[in-house]
Amino acid sequence: MTKRILIVDDEPSILELIEYNLQGQGYEVKRAINGKMALEMANSEYFDLILLDQMLPKLSGIRVLKKMRATGNLTPVIFLTAVDNEDSKVDGLISGADDYITKPFSIKELLARVEVVIRRTSKVDGDKKINFHLNRAMKSIIIDDTEISLTRKEYELMDFLLKNTGIVVSREQIFDNVWGVNSDSQLRMVDIQISHLRDKIEKDTKDPQIIKTVHGFGYILEV
């Protein structure tokens, strides 16, 4: 399957140069010219990688990445930065970037870093790693390139699980955050909504690989 890459930069010449060379390597490429546009595209489309400039109009690259990660969007990101100092690079990595490259850069180095990050974030067996995030505008979830409609409560539940990816959360924690401590609903609604979500996102509901049960405690979202 052709890998899809989003390039984000406010300099047309850089966009054109990168796009031309990535397309020459067989990648499908899309562009964004500011941070707001980049965030909207990242949260509404599937990409295997985002090349993200740190200094952008409307919303900085750091802010874009932080907002992506806060909603559970785990799309790999390589920062493009004109600031060659340690603090800038550390800030990017702490915010969730997978790699960085300093301007001016050689196309050969850029293509090598792109290949390495995509290979590292894909499964060893060659199958694409599951990548999904919420489309907040449509109240849906996008799994790879498939958009799945959610009910309001399913959406709120998935939002909470995504914010706690890799963390075991109890049924009580889920209930308090999704339904609220003063809700008239019962705790068993957590299990019912989890079951509904699994019906929509799991390949095999009898052996869930995304939302897993931690017996005696609660659930964990693993991606």
Q: Tell me what pLDDT residue 125 has.
A: 39
The CA distance from 169 to 174, in Å, is 7
For residues 115 and 199, membership in a common domain is answered with no
Domain of residue 173, residue span: 150-221
Q: Tell me what pLDDT residue 55 has.
A: 87
Q: Tell me what pLDDT residue 20 has.
A: 96
In a domain, 128, yes or no: no
In a domain, 46, yes or no: yes
The model's pTM? 0.59
CA-nearest of 110, 143, 85, 86 to 9 is 110
Compute CA distances 100 → 40, 54, 80, 162, 170, whole Å. 22, 10, 6, 25, 37
Per-residue pLDDT of the chain (223 residues; tens, 9 = 90+): 789 999 999 999 999 999 999 999 999 999 999 999 999 999 888 899 999 998 899 998 889 998 888 887 888 999 888 765 555 555 555 567 888 888 888 898 899 889 888 887 764 434 445 667 788 778 888 887 788 999 999 999 998 988 887 788 889 999 999 998 777 788 899 999 999 999 998 888 988 888 998 887 889 887 6
- Of the three residues 105, 120, 135, the one that is the final residue of a domain is 120
Residue 179: which CATH number?
Answer: 1.10.10.10
In a domain, 129, yes or no: no
DSSP letters spanning 152-165 = HHHHHHHHHHHHTT
The CA distance from 2 to 25, in Å, is 10
The CA distance from 65 to 77, in Å, is 8
**pLDDT tens-digit readout, 35-53:** 999 999 998 888 999 999 9
For residues 154 and 211, membership in a common domain is answered with yes
In a domain, 72, yes or no: yes
In a domain, 143, yes or no: no
Q: Tell me what pLDDT residue 126 has.
A: 42
Residue 95: which CATH number?
Answer: 3.40.50.2300
For residues 205 and 159, membership in a common domain is answered with yes
In a domain, 70, yes or no: yes
For residues 175 and 107, membership in a common domain is answered with no
Compute CA distances 22 → 4, 28, 44, whole Å. 10, 8, 22
Question: What 8-state DSSP symbol labels residue 214?
Answer: E
DSSP letters spanning 99-116 = EEEESS--HHHHHHHHHH
For residues 113 and 165, membership in a common domain is answered with no
Cβ atoms 7, 30 nearer than 8 A: yes
204 token code pair: 């095999």
In a domain, 136, yes or no: no
Q: Tell me what pLDDT residue 78 has.
A: 92
For residues 14 and 75, membership in a common domain is answered with yes
Q: Tell me what pLDDT residue 83 has.
A: 64
For residues 12 and 51, membership in a common domain is answered with yes
Domain count within the chain: 2
191 token code pair: 């299990």
Question: What 8-state DSSP symbol labels residue 83?
Answer: -
For residues 114 and 154, membership in a common domain is answered with no
In a domain, 138, yes or no: no
Q: Which long-range contacts (CB under 8 A, 24 or more apart) does 141-150 make?
A: 141/200, 141/201, 142/44, 142/45, 142/46, 143/201, 144/46, 145/46, 148/200, 148/201, 150/197, 150/200
